[in-house]
Amino acid sequence: MMSFKLVCIECGNTHDNSQYRILCDKCRGLLDTRYDIAPTVEARVVSRATGTARYLPLLPIRNSENLVTMNEGNTPLVRLSKISDELGLASVWGKMEFFNPTGTFKDRGNCVQVSVLKDTGVVEVAESTGGNGGNSTAAYCARAGIAYHAFMSTSIKSSQKANAIVYHGAKVHWIDGDKLDVEEATRNFSKETGILHLRYGENIYFIEGKKLIAYELPDQMDSMPDHVVVPVGNGSILMGIYKGFRDMLEDGRINKIPALHAVQVEEVQPLVAAFEGREWTATRDDPKSRATGITVKIPPRPQVVAQNCRETGGQVIALAENRILWWHKRLASLEGLLVEPASAATLAGSELLRQRGVIKQGETVLVPLTSLGIREPLI
């Protein structure tokens, strides 16, 4: 049995791990994990295991037999030589997260999230969805034998992502309206039925799965990069890799944490506002940006993302849509990699940080290439 507790990030109240928890019982704040394990590589890494199982001692799964895996992780790291030359950098490395089973980084989070569902005896969940996250959740729930109620807007009924969710056997609820209408319908369904409302953007389990992006790097690189530039919507990748780097600094696997930079679109920038200490007011209108993965209007942990960037010497910046789309096409034409536009935002961000002198000539940069571009409209 793995030893860990869940701790409220607001009031510090601790909770046991017997239930699937999203919020603090005392103040309704969000939760974080605290592990009772020695800060040594021997205690934290399962030497003969591979994939997610290799890092189980630092994941919130009590019983290893409940691990729901499709051999996610172990994604390739590829040097983007031509992009490096264009940016005047020693090297830019792409972590190819679209090599995960459903073609997206979200498989890492869902491996852990769905494993915790199985670990705590949850057999049915509901979620408002329609994108890569829903496809991934539907796939892992299918593998775990957990019934998945997918609430989606009728406006995306013909999309590839919605069709994939249907193929995974989800119980689909089509809702007329926008994202807020779909979310409200999901909440009401959960209240009426008692079925767990998953809310992957809020729960800590999904974030924990992203630590493995960082954990894999010492086996792939001679030394850590100077900078990691991350696309942020809810911010789960950045928070996850920060936790992973912090763990490895503590147990000696690395001797520094890279500067972590978060990138958003100019149209939707609540995390930039949090970093700069100003207010952000979301509108009801759907964002127009094609980098849909980084258009989350109300991320659940904005101050955590901002603090992770500050602590590592990083920045949180907003990007012009035309630069994101330029780099989206440039990456495909120079390096042969067609990714989702949100992934290309990491290169637009690297360009802007380079122009501002934050990233300096001759330094190394790592970017997570989060999902395949073939599912996205190219015009």
305 shares a domain with 169: no
121 shares a domain with 48: no
How confident is the model at residue 1, as a pLDDT?
Answer: 56
Residue 375 placed within a domain: no
In this predicted structure, the answer to whether residue 175 has a pLDDT above a threshold of 70 is yes
Using the 3D structure, point to which of 169, 185, 204 is the last residue of a domain: 204
In this predicted structure, the answer to whether residue 346 has a pLDDT above a threshold of 90 is yes
249 shares a domain with 316: yes
Q: Quick one: tokens of 180?
A: 């807020």
Residue 363 placed within a domain: yes
How confident is the model at residue 285, as a pLDDT?
Answer: 85
365 shares a domain with 223: yes
Instruction: Give the C-alpha separation, 75 to 198, whole Å.
Output: 26
Q: Quote the number of domains for the chain.
A: 3
Beta bridge partners of 367: 94
Using the 3D structure, point to which of 204, 236, 254 is the last residue of a domain: 204
- Is the C-alpha dihedral spanning 300, 302, 307, 313 positive or negative? positive
How confident is the model at residue 2, as a pLDDT?
Answer: 66
Backbone angles phi, psi at 152, to 5 degrees: -140, 150
Q: Quick one: tokens of 20?
A: 């699937």
In this predicted structure, the answer to whether residue 375 has a pLDDT above a threshold of 80 is no
Instruction: Give the C-alpha separation, 347 to 229, whole Å.
Output: 8
Supply the range of the domain harboring residue 283. 77-101+210-369
Using the 3D structure, point to which of 14, 43, 66 is the last residue of a domain: 66
Q: Quick one: tokens of 237?
A: 């990748």
22 shares a domain with 170: no
Beta bridge partners of 96: 369
Closest CA to 152 of 165, 167, 169, 140: 165
How confident is the model at residue 373, as a pLDDT?
Answer: 86
217 shares a domain with 168: no
Residue 18 placed within a domain: yes
Residue 125 placed within a domain: yes
225 shares a domain with 364: yes
304 shares a domain with 155: no
How confident is the model at residue 328, as a pLDDT?
Answer: 97
In this predicted structure, the answer to whether residue 343 has a pLDDT above a threshold of 60 is yes
Cα–Cα distance list, 360 to 76, 172, 226, 323 (Å): 25, 49, 10, 20
244-249, long-range: CB within 8 Å, 24+ apart, which pairs? 244/210, 244/211, 244/212, 244/213, 244/214, 244/215, 245/214, 245/312, 247/44, 247/58, 247/211, 247/214, 247/215, 248/214, 248/215, 248/218
Backbone angles phi, psi at 13, to 5 degrees: -65, 140
Question: What is the Cα Rg of the chain in Å?
Answer: 20
Closest CA to 150 of 117, 109, 195: 195
What would the pLDDT profile of 100-126 be if each residue is shown by its tens digit? Answer: 999 999 999 999 999 999 999 999 999
How confident is the model at residue 332, as a pLDDT?
Answer: 96
132 shares a domain with 222: no
Helices (H), ranges, the chain: 41-44, 81-87, 106-119, 132-144, 160-167, 179-193, 204-209, 211-216, 236-251, 270-276, 302-312, 321-335, 341-355
Residue 122 placed within a domain: yes
- Is the C-alpha dihedral spanning 52, 53, 54, 55 positive or negative? positive
Q: What 8-state DSSP symbol labels residue 287?
A: P
Residue 244 placed within a domain: yes
172 shares a domain with 294: no
Residue 377 placed within a domain: no
Domain of 172: which CATH number? Answer: 3.40.50.1100
248 shares a domain with 112: no
Question: Which pTM was predicted?
Answer: 0.96
93 shares a domain with 31: no
